[in-house]
């Protein structure tokens, strides 16, 4: 019998977290994670890594035009911001009293709430 592998991967950031960009053109900017692209190990961060997209005129948008949108950033270039201190921190996982895994800030030791 073949073993099933768990396809869901765990990342140090989640949708709704506030993160800081630590590398690349958007270095130093902070923003909220709008979307996680798990299969590519990337995230879309609000206000970071803005790129220009040219749209051809079509039936939906007869005018066409130039839009500025957020492009995905690799998660290795993102660092979680601790909600308590508003400073970038590494995160870890530990069991709470109910036996459930919780993320915590390695800088302060406090549990990080989801979203």
Burial letters 38-74, b for 16+ CB under 10 A, else e: eeeebbbbeebbeeeeeeeeeeeeeeeeeeeebebbe
- By the 8 A CB rule, do 50 and 70 touch? yes
- pLDDT by residue for the chain (115 residues), tens digit each? 677 776 677 888 999 999 999 998 999 999 999 999 988 999 999 999 999 999 999 998 889 899 999 999 999 999 999 988 889 999 999 998 888 889 999 998 888 886 5
Q: pLDDT digits over 25-55, tens only?
A: 999 999 999 999 988 999 999 999 999 999 9
Q: By C-alpha distance, which of 44, 109, 48 is closest to 82? A: 109
In the chain the domains, ranked by start, together with CATH numbers, are 18-105 (2.30.30.30)
Question: What is the model's pTM?
Answer: 0.81
What distance, in Å, lies between the first and last C-alpha atoms of the chain?
A: 39
């Amino acid at each position: 019998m073949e073993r099933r592998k768990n396809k869901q991967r765990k990342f140090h950031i989640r949708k709704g977290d506030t993160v800081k960009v630590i590398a690349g053109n958007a270095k130093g900017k902070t923003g909220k994670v709008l979307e996680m692209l798990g299969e590519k190990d990337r995230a879309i961060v609000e206000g970071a890594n803005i790129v220009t997209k040219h749209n051809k005129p079509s039936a939906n948008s007869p005018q066409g035009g130039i839009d500025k949108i957020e492009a995905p950033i690799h998660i290795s270039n993102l660092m979680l911001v601790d909600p308590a201190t508003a400073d970038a921190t590494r995160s870890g996982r530990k069991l709470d009293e109910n036996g459930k895994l919780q993320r915590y800030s390695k800088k302060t030791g406090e549990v990080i709430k989801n979203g």
